[in-house]
């Protein structure tokens, strides 16, 4: 099964994608994570995308699509994936449709997580990440058991460079899911809106219910 998680920055895509990928035994594919990894290791891709990310601008479609397609070739993605933070433009959505059509595995659902701007700013300014295992924490809503330390692996937690207030504002302005892309999934009957402004477990429950409904609909059609 292939699933798409859409939503403005900070609505909880990464938090939810981790849980869902584990629950369903599918790969978690996040272009933002792939780009951060490339920046960290100073690869050619990292050099190309670093400046866009620092400003909170979108990385150009061509680079983003190439990165995604390459990631989809890895063996762990053979049995399905949840896409977190991709697509973000209509062109990216079309490229994903094509890649999935070739595999004969169209996306089961496009799940849009929503939250108010105030809530998003609260979430991003309090976010702490584990650089070793990728776990996501929040100083108020999802605090680690021991301050500054990852619950899973004990590594020291860090904050993202682009979670500074002025960059967050730019990300919010430029990275809302565009209407054209949402309309694309609406027309395919795949768009489901999920209210992300509730606790993590409540959002997970709604996402899993929507995924189950989408899977049942797909079974009926085939």
Identify the residue among 150, 167, 181, 182 touching Zn ion (CB under 5 A): 150
> Does 13 participate in catalysis according to the annotation?
yes
Interaction of residue 185 with ligand AP5, rule CB under 6 A = no
Residue numbers 140-179 binding ligand AP5 by CB under 6 A: 141-142, 162, 171
Lookup: tokens for 220: 């009926």
Q: Which two tokens stand for residue 125?
A: 């300014």
**Smallest distance, Zn ion to C-beta of residue 44, A:** 28
Cα distance between the two ends of the chain: 14
Nearer CB in complex with ligand AP5: 87/108: 87
In three-state secondary structure terms, 192 is strand
Question: Beta strand pairing status for 136-138 and 81-84?
Answer: unpaired
Q: Are 14 and 136 in contact (CB under 8 A)?
A: yes
What residues form DSSP beta bridges with 146? 149
Q: Which of residues 14-33 bind Mg ion (CB under 5 A)?
A: 14
Q: Pick from 209, 192, 210: which is nearest to 113 by CA?
A: 192
Whether the Cβ atoms of residue 112 and residue 192 lie closer than 8 Å to each other: yes
Name residue 136's beta-bridge partners: 129
Please pick, among 55, 160, 164, 186, the residue that the annotation labels catalytic: 160
Q: Considering only residues 2, 28, 71, 88, which one is a binding residue for ligand AP5 as defined by CB under 6 A?
A: 88
The enclosing H or E element of 60 equals none
Annotated catalytic residue within 36, 71, 123, 171: 171
Contact string 153-192 vs Zn ion (x = CB under 5 A): x-x-------------------------------------
Cα angle 109, 103, 220; round to 5 = 45
Tell me whether residue 86 or residue 185 sits nearer to ligand AP5 (CB atom). 86
- Judged by the rule CB under 6 A, the positions of this chain that interact with ligand AP5 are 7, 9-15, 30-32, 35, 52-53, 56-59, 64, 85-88, 92, 123-124, 126-127, 136-138, 141-142, 162, 171, 199-200, 203
The residues that touch Mg ion, with contacts defined as CB under 5 A, are 14
Give catalytic residues, as residue numbers. Answer: 13, 88, 127, 160, 171
């Amino acid at each position: 099964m292939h699933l798409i998680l859409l939503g403005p920055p900070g609505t909880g895509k990464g938090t939810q994608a981790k849980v869902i990928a584990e629950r369903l035994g599918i790969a978690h594919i996040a272009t933002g994570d792939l780009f951060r990894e490339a920046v960290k290791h100073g690869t050619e891709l990292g050099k190309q995308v670093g400046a866009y990310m620092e400003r909170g601008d979108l990385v150009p479609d061509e680079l983003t699509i190439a990165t995604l397609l390459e990631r989809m070739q890895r063996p762990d993605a053979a049995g399905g994936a949840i896409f977190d933070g991709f697509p973000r433009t209509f062109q990216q959505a079309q490229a994903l449709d094509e890649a999935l059509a070739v595999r004969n595995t169209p996306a089961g659902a496009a799940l849009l997580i929503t939250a108010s701007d105030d809530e998003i700013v609260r979430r991003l300014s309090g976010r702490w990440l584990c650089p070793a295992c990728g776990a996501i924490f929040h100083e108020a809503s999802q605090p680690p058991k021991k301050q500054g330390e990852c619950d899973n692996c004990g590594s020291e937690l860090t904050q993202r460079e682009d979670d500074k207030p002025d960059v967050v504002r730019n990300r919010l302005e430029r990275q809302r899911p565009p209407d054209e892309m949402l309309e694309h999934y609406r027309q395919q009957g795949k768009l489901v809106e999920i209210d992300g402004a509730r606790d993590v477990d409540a959002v997970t429950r709604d996402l899993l219910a929507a995924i189950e409904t989408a899977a049942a609909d797909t079974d009926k059609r085939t």
